[in-house]
Amino acid sequence: MSPTLSKKILAWYDNSKRDLPWRVSKKSPKKLYYRVLSEFMLQQTQVKTVIPYFKKFTKKYKSLESLAKINENQILKLWEGLGYYRRARNLLASVKLLVKKYDSKLPKNFEEVKKLPGVGDYTANALLGFIHNQPTLAVDGNVKRVFARYLNKKETKIDFKKLISLNRNSLFITNRNSDFIESLMEFGALICKPKDPKCSHCCLKTSCKHLKSSKKTKTKNEKKVKTINYDIFCYINKKRQIALTKKNEVSFLRNFYLPPIKKMRNNSNQNNWIFLKNYKNSISNLKLNINLYYKFSNKIPQSYYWHSIKSNKEFIPSFTRKIFNQVSTLF
Ligand code: SF4
């Protein structure tokens, strides 16, 4: 790898980086809090979606210590709408551990950082780079694509750990390791984009093998979308409440309250249930095809509870809120 790659990307970054709220000065006392919070939020979520949530959190909880004091329901309520709720639970558990066990500091050892709940190789590398300026790279989808295109290879054919270790001396030549991690991600998001990369404006265009090659490798395998069919059953009582339960046949919202849901079966018996409508919903790479049924009833099975459709006090996943919206058309 050419040693000029990092210098060129850093120079581009210095001129073109976005002003993002978690990018605070290296000496800021908020640095760890902002980085931990944003890294959890950015897992599988775009920057523009994360910004308002990040601002909402940091306005309400000004420090790692204040966030560490809240409970799971409070964080879920604040996280509502951002999806992948396991991240909120892991964030809270990690923040509590950082405050209690590590005196609100990030450990310097990779294996120790990985012990934080919800922190894998990617987040551990990102945090160690951002907070301790360690020479490491956080290899997300953007970074993989940049290297794959630069080398004109398929992402799946590259061993990124090996690539980084073999090119350590040429990649980390500036001692701006924290900025280098960020610059590569930013470069992938703004210049070497998934679709229509801006090759004519690219600082790497003279050495990029993808651009030069007449045989351009398709660097990424398309994500497979899976369609699942579900039947959802809504018990509704006279007070316009809906029955929710945690006992459901769904893996993507395990441990959350939802109306009873079953995988659609050809021979399923919908006796006594009234068909309301069919609609589609998407969660990550899942396409959900939903048949919604209802019945008015004051009796519900044990382990179900009545929830007011209009109530906004408790945390309710957006998947369930969409069901509420459909059911509201009955009234
Ligand atoms: S020249 Fe194009 S493909 Fe190559 S790194 Fe730059 S933007 Fe990506």
Question: Does ligand 1 lie within 6 Å of residue 203's CB atom?
Answer: no
Q: Residue 268's pLDDT is what?
A: 60
* Cα 33 to averaged position of ligand 1 atoms, centre (Å): 34
Helix axis angle, 47-60 to 72-79, nearest 10°: 140
Give residue 15's identity as a one-letter amino acid code: N
pLDDT, one tens digit per residue, over 103-140 is 999 999 999 999 999 999 999 999 999 999 999 999 99
The verdict on pTM exceeding 0.85 is no
* Cα 210 to averaged position of ligand 1 atoms, centre (Å): 7
Question: Does ligand 1 lie within 6 Å of residue 204's CB atom?
Answer: yes
Relative to the CA of 208, which ligand 1 atom is closest?
A: 4
Architecture of domain 138-222: Orthogonal Bundle (1.10)
In 3D, which of 272, 259, 251 has the Cα closest to residue 231? 259
pLDDT, one tens digit per residue, over 260-316 is 998 887 666 677 899 999 999 888 778 999 999 999 998 898 889 999 988 878 888
Give the best-scoring range by mean pLDDT among 84-88, 97-101, 266-270.
Answer: 97-101
Residue nearest to atom 5 of ligand 1 (CA): 150
Q: Residue 219's pLDDT is what?
A: 65
Domain boundaries, the chain: 27-132, 138-222, 226-328
Mean residue pLDDT of the chain comes to 91
* Cα 162 to averaged position of ligand 1 atoms, centre (Å): 22
Percentage of residues in the chain having pLDDT higher than 90: 71
Question: Does ligand 1 lie within 6 Å of residue 35's CB atom?
Answer: no
Q: Residue 221's pLDDT is what?
A: 60
Among 155, 195, 204, name the best residue to mutate to test ligand 1's pocket (greatest count of ligand atoms within 8 A of Cβ).
204
Q: Within 13 Å and on the Cβ side, how many CA atoms surround 130?
A: 28
In 3D, which of 65, 60, 56, 72 has the Cα closest to residue 30? 65
Q: Which of 141-145, 153-157, 185-189, 327-331 has the lowest mean pLDDT?
A: 327-331
Q: Residue 269's pLDDT is what?
A: 65
Catalytic residue check, 39: yes
* Cα 196 to averaged position of ligand 1 atoms, centre (Å): 10
Residue nearest to atom 4 of ligand 1 (CA): 208
Topology (CATH) of 27-132: Endonuclease III; domain 1 (1.10.340)
Q: Residue 214's pLDDT is what?
A: 74
Question: Does ligand 1 lie within 6 Å of residue 151's CB atom?
Answer: no
Topology (CATH) of 226-328: Nucleoside Triphosphate Pyrophosphohydrolase (3.90.79)
Question: Does ligand 1 lie within 6 Å of residue 148's CB atom?
Answer: no
Question: Does ligand 1 lie within 6 Å of residue 202's CB atom?
Answer: yes
Among 2, 6, 199, 220, name the best residue to mutate to test ligand 1's pocket (greatest count of ligand atoms within 8 A of Cβ).
199
Relative to the CA of 203, which ligand 1 atom is closest?
A: 6
Question: Does ligand 1 lie within 6 Å of residue 108's CB atom?
Answer: no
Are the CB atoms for 205 and 211 separated by under 8 Å?
A: yes
Give residue 129's identity as a one-letter amino acid code: G
Q: Residue 267's pLDDT is what?
A: 60
Question: Does ligand 1 lie within 6 Å of residue 176's CB atom?
Answer: no
Distance, CA of 60 to CA of 66 (rounded, Å): 9
